[in-house]
Amino acid sequence: MGILITTPIDAASSSNPKPNIFSLPGELRNHIWRLVCLSDGPVNVEALCLSDKQKLHQPAASFTCKQFRDEVLSIYYAETQWYLGKIGYFDKGLRLHDFNLRLARWKEMLGPYTKYLTNLSMAIDGRCYGGEDFSIPADAQYEIEAVQDGKVRFERNGTSRCKCRLKPGVERQASRDGAVLLEVMKEYSASYWEPVIEGHCPKCRLSRLETLRRSEVSHLPLWEDIVSC
């Protein structure tokens, strides 16, 4: 993912005629950027969105020149899993309102690089937002990832989730544009504004969220209204 360079930069554009990183094949430069900027696990966006932060912490290699900045950051944002936080009242959880504020601030700080996002995760504390059947665990881990053009992978604790509520064309957009993918995750969290339970979609047979009464969460741009069982 990201800007995958396949050709070397013209060495003539450098004032130094000796071999240097500009003359390396694009595939090798991409490999170098992955080594210097990618981590082994998810990156928590919390530290990146604090009110006292005026700019994002980014890999040092992205500050060398504009050409390298675009190459490095496209790989950095596309190939990192970004942990958005845990929604809940316990264990340093966030209220939904504060969660939305965090995502809005992060998106603003990312600017044009938002489009490169491909892998996002968040957690929901089912003790706070689940119904009385306790079908939603205290650590419900959601992950959404753009896996190919037109498709996204959506799971909770490693198990596929129903995507049938996504409005027509949204999944394709989310697979191509990280800004849409981020909004899909943000809107899904809105399902927890009221008590929900686990149900099963009659169309795809996968698990989904349902309510016991008429939902107050409606008119979301990307998701159809949550279903009342």
Cβ-based burial of 7 (10 A; exposed 0-12, middle 13-18, buried ≥19) = exposed
More confident call, 174 vs 227: 174
Given this model, what pLDDT does residue 196 score? 85
pLDDT above 50: residue 11: no
- Using the CB atoms, write b or e for 170-181: b if 16+ within 10 Å: bbebbbebbbbb
CA-angle at 182, arms to 161 and 185, nearest 5°: 30
Query: If we measure between CA atoms, which residue out of 105, 139, 135 comes closest to residue 125?
Result: 139
* Residue extents of the structural domains in the chain: 1-80, 81-229
Reported as a single tens digit per residue, the pLDDT across 32-78 is 999 989 988 999 998 777 766 677 888 888 888 888 889 999 999 99
CA–CA separation, 157 vs 142, rounded Å?
A: 6
Q: What is the dihedral of CA 72, 78, 80, 83, to 10 degrees?
A: 130
Mean pLDDT throughout 115-135? 84
Query: If we measure between CA atoms, which residue out of 201, 209, 140, 152 comes closest to residue 176?
Result: 152
Side-chain-facing half-sphere of 17: CA atoms under 13 Å: 0
Which range (15-19, 70-74, 189-193) has the least confidence? 15-19
The H-assigned helical ranges of the chain are 26-37, 66-78, 96-110, 126-129, 170-176, 178-189
Give the three-class secondary structure for 71: helix
Average pLDDT, the chain: 85
pLDDT above 50: residue 96: yes
The label of the residue with tokens 């989310």 reads 174
- Using the CB atoms, write b or e for 119-131: b if 16+ within 10 Å: bbbbbbbbbbbbb
Cβ atoms of 75 and 30 closer than 8 Å: yes
CA–CA separation, 165 vs 126, rounded Å?
A: 21
The label of the residue with tokens 């909770």 reads 156
Beta partners for 120? 82, 144
Beta partners for 161? 207
The label of the residue with tokens 């071999």 reads 19
Whole-Å CA distances, 78 to 67, 102, 177:
17, 20, 11
Given this model, what pLDDT does residue 86 score? 92
Query: What are 107's two structure tokens?
Result: 């998106």
Reported as a single tens digit per residue, the pLDDT across 147-158 is 988 999 999 999
